[in-house]
Structure 1
Amino acid sequence: MDAQPLAVGIIGCGNVGRILAEKQNTFRITAAYDCVPGCALDFSARFGAKPLTEFAELLAEPVEIVVEAASVSAVREYAIDVLRSGKDLIILSVGALADETFRIELLGEARRLNRKIHVPSGAIMGLDNIRIGQVSSVDTILLRTTKNPLSLGIGEPETKCVFSGTASECVQRYPKNTNVAVSLSLACGCDASVEVWSDPGETKNMHEIIFSGEFGEAYIRIRNNPSSGNGATSRLAALSALSILENLKNPLVIGA
């Protein structure tokens, strides 16, 4: 007999939510909340999830895990209540965890309630081994992100470094483009260095990771296709969340 599909709730019925719904297999999105009622209704009409226009309704739904696919502000507003309702959580807007006070409170609640918070690899690869920074010495952890200026919301006509600093500083300047930087820092256990480059000739979202330490040296380059509905978001980000959902009930755990 086939296992019962994992019941999933979602916060945010936009581009990422649609990708997850289109590819659901071992899970089912049964409840969908969006602060814009029309978005939840459209999502329901297309994918069959119960449309919710009040967040409290989502907390009452019999889902096992909730996917946040909305915004940094949505994480801050809803994440703790999701855990307190007895549900695990997948966070895509990882930039919210750059706020140390909020992060400590959120993780404290997760420990107290014995709940899990999953952070997908997002638009990069290799977070599983970047975690060795938590148990060994690190010399360099640098993220260099290059995007078309339109994706960055600027009008820079030439290739130019528009930011250089730490991940925690970058989230203040480019909150919609720093989930990768914060994920990298959380995985490594230290505040990663970040460069953001604007390149009018770049048609994809490119991330380069330079990592060195006790283990040796690594260089990773990813050139992502932007999501069709949102040029600032890489399709890989949605697919990495999809991978978590599809494997939650898999008894074989690889690289996590």
Structure 2
Amino acid sequence: MSVSFKTPVTLVMGRMNNEVAFWNHDKGEVTLLGSLRGVELIDELRVDKEVRGHLALASFSYYLIKAVDLGSKGGSYVISEANQLIKLPSNPRINFRNFNGWYTIRNSFILIGNPEVNEGPYPLVCPYRVGDTLFINVGYANEDDLRNLISLMNILRNNAEGGIMTVTTMCRIPSMPVEMALILGNRYLMVRTFINNAVPTSGSKYLVIVTSGGNIVSKYSVNTGVLDALSDALNQMRK
């Protein structure tokens, strides 16, 4: 499911009547997107004397997208520039005119719920900008896929000394592909998976590729055993 808003805009996301909902602060309107697996992890949206919800999003000039958790029960998490899953800053009493303390979202989904505490599936919010429009794809990740993603990031980060690692979520694509890349000299390792289980995909769940000088050295296309495939790929990187 997806929704779009003209910018500048400030939104509050929450659950209303068991549906994913966004309240547009600038227009005072609520948009309902429908139900979703894991929707019970999203805090209720209330629009009365004081607006309450799970998280707030804002987007304005220069393609910036900012977010803050609203003191939700399960929390909100993003992939940081250090390639780790971190908790969004939390502030239950936000000022819709002051975005200090809000986190800048860069090529990352927003995960609803704590995988160390809450059982899956986990709702996903994936915002991106095109021109003056903010688009938001919404889906969910199952527990095994999310744990695999976290393990893959941890292993790559632990092997990134002397190199460069990046993690990018392609929010424009409904299946929300996540690409993890490790560059060591002229060698390049890429792992790609699809984190949004709400959208069916064809082909394998995981793709692992190692190149050297632009030439493919090894390629793994698997649905299970991705950690073993990554271990083999890292051995290829070290040769």
Structure 1 or 2: more helix by fraction: 1
TM-score range (shorter-chain normalised) is under 0.3
Tell me the TM-score normalized by structure 2.
0.25
Tell me the TM-score normalized by structure 1.
0.24
Give the structure, 1 or 2, with the largest relative contact order (CA under 8 Å, sep 6 or more). 1
Structure 1 or 2: more strand by fraction: 2
